[in-house]
Amino acid sequence: MKTSRKPKHKEEHEHMEHKEHKEEHKEHKKPQKKIVEKKVEPRPEQKLPGTSYYWVSGIIIVVLLALIIILLVRDAGPPTGPGDTGGTGGQEIPDEDKVKVEFYVMSQCPYGTQVEDAFYPVLEKMGEAVDFHLDYIVTETSPGTFQSLHGEKEVKGNIVQLCAMKYYSEDYKYMDFIICQNKDAANVDTNWVKCAADSGLDAVKLRTCLEGEEGKQLLRESMQKAQARDATGSPTMYIDDVPYQGQRDALSFQRAICQFTELEECADIPECASDADCTEEQGMIGVCNNPNQANAFCTYEEPVEVDFIVLTADDCTGDACDTTRVVQITQQYFLGAKKKEVDVDSAEGKQLVEKYNIEVVPAYLFDASLADTRTWKTMTSIQSSFEKIDDKYKLLDKATGATHFVSEEARQKFYDAIGVVLGDNKPQIDFFVMSYCPYGNQAEEGIEPVYQLLKGKADFNPKYVIYSNYGGGGPNYCIDNDNLCSMHGIQELNQNVREACVGKHMGMDEWFEFALAMNDKCTSQNADTCWEPVAEDLGLDVETIKKCEEEEAVALMSADKELGDKLKVSGSPTVFIDGESYSGARTPEAYKQALCAAFDEPPEECDAVLGGDTQAGTQGQC
């Protein structure tokens, strides 16, 4: 790769808020289980089943995701694009003056390869002003043995790319090699030979590094860098030590870098690329005219006034009851929003509970003028986070993270709706997964030893995460007129159905055998043709499965979707024990401890200590 040499002047900057990025991987083979154990927290009183206890930092992730992204990208929006301005005549830039850019990825993760591909032209244009670091998210399960989310092939891909970085770092030549591999990321363990030849790299040197201790040490050092940044999702990105969560195109990356340097390429960046760049007039709505053009300019208009009620309770404590973040984001993007706090036990609060059927607090009720705001009209994705009730718009509970029941009657009503029976000394664990979500597979494989230990003494209920109109609907994702869809495509949905059929007609022993075997032997791209030999090898009745898939698919998936909607399930895995959201480690022992804590009188089996891997963290979710 050829790069121009440009000078740099460091500017002051505000530190962007760091929110952990959780990525879903759309096409992959199901992973092995390697997870990190975390302490299982006790269940607090009057918490709503279906909501994680640790979600204050993520309250707005579901609700105002588009808003937060804009917030984080205010100074990192897309520029007009790099142009050949002639550079600086080859002037060398000292390393200490370069803009440090860090990507933490997985070599087979489609989101990781996406940002690599997008950053490649930035390095071509501005490489001499950038100190670029590319490292990998893996775990070392034993000395010299590594695990990556997408399996052993990805481990080899990670290593060979690190070898290329070591020997071909000048002018980022190794990026030519990586971009070549990204064109066929499913085969990074083998395509490196051809890509080395195409990129002018010595394949013999790379092979020696890949197959020897040198490659393992490079991966170990890279892993340690990722761990130091607490990078668990691919990609995790930093620009000049600031977490970057902006848009993932070359122009946006260039604009972000130009915050910290003065280059000729940066001089032609327009005044604004989007409304988010127009912030000079405090309390006014900024509008970007001619966005991303040389003649772009900002204008400002008065915001629409919106009154909103924050309904809470004196005994609502803890992070989930902290309304600060929701209110802050609301007032940042609905600039005319005016808050009124109401206690649920006041006369007005009781009227609101009855009129708007409030079950949990905090609850946020907005006047109808919300629909007249510019944000509502221009960021239509926000509308799905609200429900219209009578004359107001209410933020959905699953979006705000509300967990505190307004009464014991409301709590019992909810338990009845989800089928939880307390006091029978037989707790139940409901775990929602997608058959080809790697994080869901970790949960399945972590729960299976607990099932073997406690079957007959606790109920184990695998369920599937089902959406409506996912990906715009259509036969590639959905059945039943787009009412029942799965994230990773129609073959995943079909496999969900087949596994549900095995559970219904053959039992939980068979369900775990089938699900775990499919984890190892099939993928989201071949499940429809791969499953029969797997089922036959396990001695399962293939014809019964086929008949069930044909006749019961809609009923089975509709039931899972209905329960998931009640529990506010949005990702895989989502686990509940007696209706309470579980957010601990995905290890057999951690699951066992949480389930045993739900017994009125724990059986002696709870004294057993379950082994199992504890390397992978609990943060990942599809």
Domain count for the chain: 3
**What range defines the domain where residue 446 resides?**
419-607
* Contact indicator for 141, 106 with CB cutoff of 8 Å: no
474 is a domain residue: yes
Same domain as 112, residue 252: yes
Same domain as 473, residue 398: no
Same domain as 194, residue 309: no
Q: Where among 267, 292, 317 does a domain terminate? A: 267
Same domain as 596, residue 450: yes
Q: For every residue of 256-297, which 3-state class applies, written as one string? A: HHCCCCCCHHHHCCCCCCCHHHCCCCCCCEEEEECCCCCCCE
pLDDT for the residue numbered 91: 54
55 is a domain residue: yes
Same domain as 137, residue 180: yes
16 is a domain residue: no
Residues of 5-23 as b/e, b for ≥16 C-beta within 10 angstroms? ebbbeeeeeeebeebebeb
Q: Where among 223, 243, 267 does a domain terminate? A: 267
Nearest one of 370, 118, 102, 115 to 241, comparing CA atoms: 102
Q: What is the distance between the terminal CA atoms of the chain, rounded to a whole angstrom? A: 35
Same domain as 193, residue 170: yes
353 is a domain residue: yes
Distance CA 88, CA 558 (A): 63
218 is a domain residue: yes
pLDDT for the residue numbered 92: 67
Give me the average pLDDT of each 10-residue run along the chain (622 residues): 40 33 38 34 38 36 40 36 36 79 94 94 91 95 85 92 97 97 92 96 97 96 95 93 86 86 79 78 90 88 96 86 90 92 96 94 97 90 90 90 85 83 91 93 94 96 94 88 93 97 97 96 93 97 97 96 88 91 89 95 95 57 82
Q: For every residue of 386-428, which 3-state class applies, written as one string? A: EEEECCEEEECHHHHCCCEECCHHHHHHHHHHHCCCCCCCCCE
Same domain as 445, residue 402: no
Could you tell me the CATH number of the domain that includes residue 352? 3.40.30
Query: Using the 8-state DSSP alphabet, how is residue 619 labeled?
Result: -
Rounded to 10 degrees, the C-alpha dihedral 315/404/459/600 comes to 10
Same domain as 365, residue 249: no
* Contact indicator for 344, 406 with CB cutoff of 8 Å: yes
Which residue in this structure is represented by tokens 């990025």?
A: 21
Distance CA 614, CA 604 (A): 24
Same domain as 396, residue 336: yes
* Contact indicator for 310, 327 with CB cutoff of 8 Å: yes
579 is a domain residue: yes
600 is a domain residue: yes
The structure tokens listed for 301 are 């208009």
499 is a domain residue: yes
Same domain as 467, residue 384: no
Q: Where among 388, 411, 434 does a domain terminate? A: 411
Nearest one of 305, 315, 260, 314 to 283, comparing CA atoms: 305
Same domain as 255, residue 168: yes
Phi then psi for residue 131, to 5 deg, are -105, 90
E-strand ranges in 154-203 read none
Could you tell me the CATH number of the domain that includes residue 584? 3.40.30.10
pLDDT for the residue numbered 613: 60
Same domain as 504, residue 454: yes
